[in-house]
Structure 1
């Protein structure tokens, strides 16, 4: 007895209808035509009515980028530090003890400027502070914040930490040499560090067309820097001692 011919369409009987022009859609296991793949790896991705629309990632502000660059320098400043246990002499020991009482605080206003509440800036600041807590060895306190109003071209950023340092001047020079290339500073000049002592330097930078005055300090118990946007370092230098006194405290 003759047998019916075997199906030329495995897994599917009766055979699917013919497409115009003789084209047969590719078969999936089970015999169902395969839906066309869309960008994104699943049917309908990126098409109207399918899935969530794709939006480009939000870019961080220039302030945020600069804050993270400065953060990297602060970490460099602290990595070379540490408690100077090998100092000899009573005066050196007293100096270390005094330095251990140093701390930095984050005021609600800085130089008369209110702390920024911009969500994107606050997010970057918190990210930077979290990073400092985990990567800066020996830090007893940290500070990071943006103050003022960019619409009025009056904005100030501060970042710093308290930690014992063996050679504050060397750490300051090392950190600023790295910062200079990132923010376009050609030269840092030595300035009066003020009543709190230590070493301090200022320089002029520029990023994304925005002028910046930069001043940094480093002493036995702390280090940090200010960046004044839309202004020169000469403008910042006039305020430096006052600003530092608002941030650096002695217990």
Structure 2
């Protein structure tokens, strides 16, 4: 005896039990000759392993590598390394291009090297000085022998310039100064940070030839004849090392440059400060010279 359905509840299916959807190609409802109830194996109901349900590895669901989902490198979606959209990958950064400031410095340094230092070497014949007496010449040589010039590790708080682009110019500075007649020691170096427009060049030599005044005159004359004209050279404090010291202003390839030159009984040298005025250089000149020139007591 069956219980009648509750109000609103459908009655039993007169054709038999629940019929799940048939397999593809089969009719939705069993044919009259197939009988009611659950279909035989291979037809409707729970699918066989090669049919619907949980997909085989080569069907839908989680895609195999190379298909949908997160694309492999080079496919649309997340770009491969070096493409727009993602931050640069870890590794060696691309070489930096030379900044415009460094290019200007390179041109300016080359101008100072060729026009100023080159002119001094070409025209500075310190041996032409005439001494009034033989004793004066002997005294000058004795005093000169106690003086030498060195390349300090730092210059007034500035580190040496290590940029490889300027290495050749640094070597050339020292090489040119060593050609001065009677040289016993020479130095050429650069200090500071070109990117911050803080760059100082030094070029100096100790020599046994020439007098204090004659050496200064020949050095500045060589600068001028080389094409490196310093305007407004005026006396400045030479510091405890004594001798003659003057500072002025010039321009190196369009860059304002302050220049101070000194000469004493055994040395001659120049300090050039790019991007600055002579008033700025004078504030540090005595300190810088004291780190470059050494004198035995």
Aligned twin of 1:7: none
Deviation at 1:240, TM superposition (A): 1.0
Instruction: Give the number of the structure whose alpha-carbon radius of gyration is greater.
Output: 2
Of residues 146, 151, 154, the one that matches 2:195 is 151
Deviation at 1:174, TM superposition (A): 3.2
Contact 1:76 1:175 in 2 (8 A): no
Contact 2:177 2:203 in 1 (8 A): no
Deviation at 1:235, TM superposition (A): 0.9
Residue aligned with 1:183, SS: coil
CA distance in 2, matches of 1:242, 1:223: 16
Deviation at 1:143, TM superposition (A): 0.5
CA distance in 2, matches of 1:130, 1:184: 22
Residue aligned with 2:213, SS: helix
Aligned twin of 2:3: none
Contact 1:185 1:205 in 2 (8 A): yes
Structure 1 residues 207 and 118: CA distance shift in structure 2, 3 A = same
Contact 1:116 1:147 in 2 (8 A): yes
Q: Is it true that 1:125 corresponds to 2:170 in the alignment?
A: yes
Contact 1:64 1:121 in 2 (8 A): no
Query: Could you tell me the TM-score, scaled by structure 1's length?
Result: 0.67
Q: Is it true that 1:234 corresponds to 2:252 in the alignment?
A: no
Deviation at 1:178, TM superposition (A): 4.1
CA distance in 1, matches of 2:129, 2:148: 15
Aligned twin of 1:221: 266
Structure 1 residues 85 and 202: CA distance shift in structure 2, 3 A = closer
Deviation at 1:144, TM superposition (A): 0.3
Structure 1 residues 93 and 178: CA distance shift in structure 2, 3 A = closer
Residue aligned with 2:183, SS: coil
Paired positions, count: 192
Structure 1 residues 178 and 74: CA distance shift in structure 2, 3 A = closer
Structure 1 residues 85 and 68: CA distance shift in structure 2, 3 A = same
1:3-55: per-residue Cα shift (whole Å, max 9, x none)?
xxxxxxxxxxxxxxxxxxxxxxxxxxxxxxxxxxxxxxxxxxxxxxxxxxxxx
Aligned twin of 1:72: 118
Q: Is it true that 1:164 corresponds to 2:208 in the alignment?
A: yes
Query: Could you tell me the TM-score, scaled by structure 2's length?
Result: 0.58
Deviation at 1:192, TM superposition (A): 2.2
CA distance in 1, matches of 2:222, 2:182: 22
Structure 1 residues 76 and 169: CA distance shift in structure 2, 3 A = farther
Contact 1:74 1:223 in 2 (8 A): no
Long gaps (5+) in structure 2: 1-102
1:101-160: per-residue Cα shift (whole Å, max 9, x none)?
110000111111111011121112212323443x32211110001110121121100001
Residue aligned with 1:140, SS: strand
Deviation at 1:186, TM superposition (A): 2.5
Residue aligned with 1:195, SS: coil
Deviation at 1:85, TM superposition (A): 8.4
1:200-220: per-residue Cα shift (whole Å, max 9, x none)?
111111123211110000111
Structure 1 residues 249 and 160: CA distance shift in structure 2, 3 A = same
